Amino acid sequence: MSKKVFLLIIAGLCFGQSTESIPSYNYSLKIPRSMFVKPISQEENLILHNLRAHSLQFNMTSFNTMLMMQVEGESLQPKTSFWKQAGIYGLEYAGADAGSCASLYMSLLFWNPENAGEGEEIVPMFVGFGVYVVSNPLLTSSFTSFVAKKFNQNGSWKKALIGSSFGAIASFFANAIYYQHASSRKAWVSFMFLTAITLPPTGAVVGYNW
């Protein structure tokens, strides 16, 4: 009887020591820079954290490698160079300026300051000004957004609308101030045309990319 008990004790000690050491292996996973890695989902991320917290045999190298897979796809895309981005902004401005010129042309169909006499055609002047104020922000922001989308630029049409509206308001006040100090009517008309086709497009481009 004592021999059986002795053998059971020895067997228990042997089985108890059988799980003392488990060999661990380190595996490294190299991902090429040109390879697109899909970000893991929130559920998979939770599983990884649970494995790291509760498993004594979890490989830290593999865990860090898996965390790298959470990088967003946009961060893996090559960055646009300074000159290319500047060129895109220039094309956005050109598109915005085309919209502003179209708006100015529409307003001139109702009232042209170059052909109007002093103190004459008050009603057509207000009509032309109203057409410009309404159409300029809409056309300028729409043209800006259209060009930007062609070059995959992320922006807001609403912000471009707000920016072009501020540009149109700034153009109005600049003309009102310059009118008091203009040397001639021709100089004021030239200044009005210049501000009308520069300030709203600038506001639209800045607002869209803000």
pLDDT digits (tens, 9 = 90+) for 91-113: 999 999 999 999 989 988 888 77
- The rounded distance, in Å, linking the Cα atoms of 94 and 98 is 6
Identify whether residues 109 and 91 lie together within a single domain.
yes
Mean pLDDT of 179-197: 87
Of the chain, the percentage scoring pLDDT greater than 90 comes to 31
Query: Is the full-model pTM beyond 0.75?
Result: no
Is residue 13 included in any domain, yes or no?
A: no
Is residue 9 included in any domain, yes or no?
A: no
pLDDT of residue 71: 45
Spatial CB neighbours of 131, under 8 Å, sequence gap ≥ 6: 103, 106, 107, 109, 110
Identify whether residues 100 and 199 lie together within a single domain.
yes
Is residue 193 included in any domain, yes or no?
A: yes
Supply the mean pLDDT for the chain. Answer: 75
At residue 203 the predicted structure's pLDDT band, cuts being 50, 70 and 90, is very high
Identify whether residues 123 and 191 lie together within a single domain.
yes
- The rounded distance, in Å, linking the Cα atoms of 143 and 204 is 9
At residue 192 the predicted structure's pLDDT band, cuts being 50, 70 and 90, is confident
- Concatenated DSSP letters for 92-150? HHHHHHHHHHHHHHHHHTT--TTTPPTT--HHHHHHHHHHHHHHHHHHHHHHHHHHHHH
Identify whether residues 40 and 111 lie together within a single domain.
no
Q: How far apart are the first and last CA of the chain?
A: 88
pLDDT digits (tens, 9 = 90+) for 40-84: 566 666 666 666 655 545 455 554 555 555 545 555 556 778 888
8 A C-beta contact, residue 169 and residue 140: no
Mean pLDDT of 17-33: 45
Identify whether residues 66 and 91 lie together within a single domain.
no
Q: Which of 42, 72, 102 is the last residue of a domain?
A: 72
> How many domains would you assign to the chain?
2
Long-range contacts of 24-33 (CB under 8 A, 24+ apart): 24/57, 24/59, 25/59, 26/59, 26/61, 27/59, 27/61, 27/62, 28/61, 28/65, 29/62, 29/65, 31/65, 31/68, 33/76
Identify whether residues 35 and 130 lie together within a single domain.
no
Identify whether residues 86 and 154 lie together within a single domain.
yes
Identify whether residues 103 and 193 lie together within a single domain.
yes
Identify whether residues 35 and 124 lie together within a single domain.
no
Identify whether residues 108 and 152 lie together within a single domain.
yes
Q: Which of 37, 72, 107 is the last residue of a domain?
A: 72
Is residue 112 included in any domain, yes or no?
A: yes
pLDDT of residue 127: 87
Find the domain containing 137 and state its range.
82-208
Identify whether residues 52 and 87 lie together within a single domain.
no
pLDDT of residue 81: 84
pLDDT of residue 124: 80
Mean pLDDT of 124-146: 90
Q: Which of 13, 39, 72 is the last residue of a domain?
A: 72
Residue type, 46: L
Identify whether residues 52 and 118 lie together within a single domain.
no
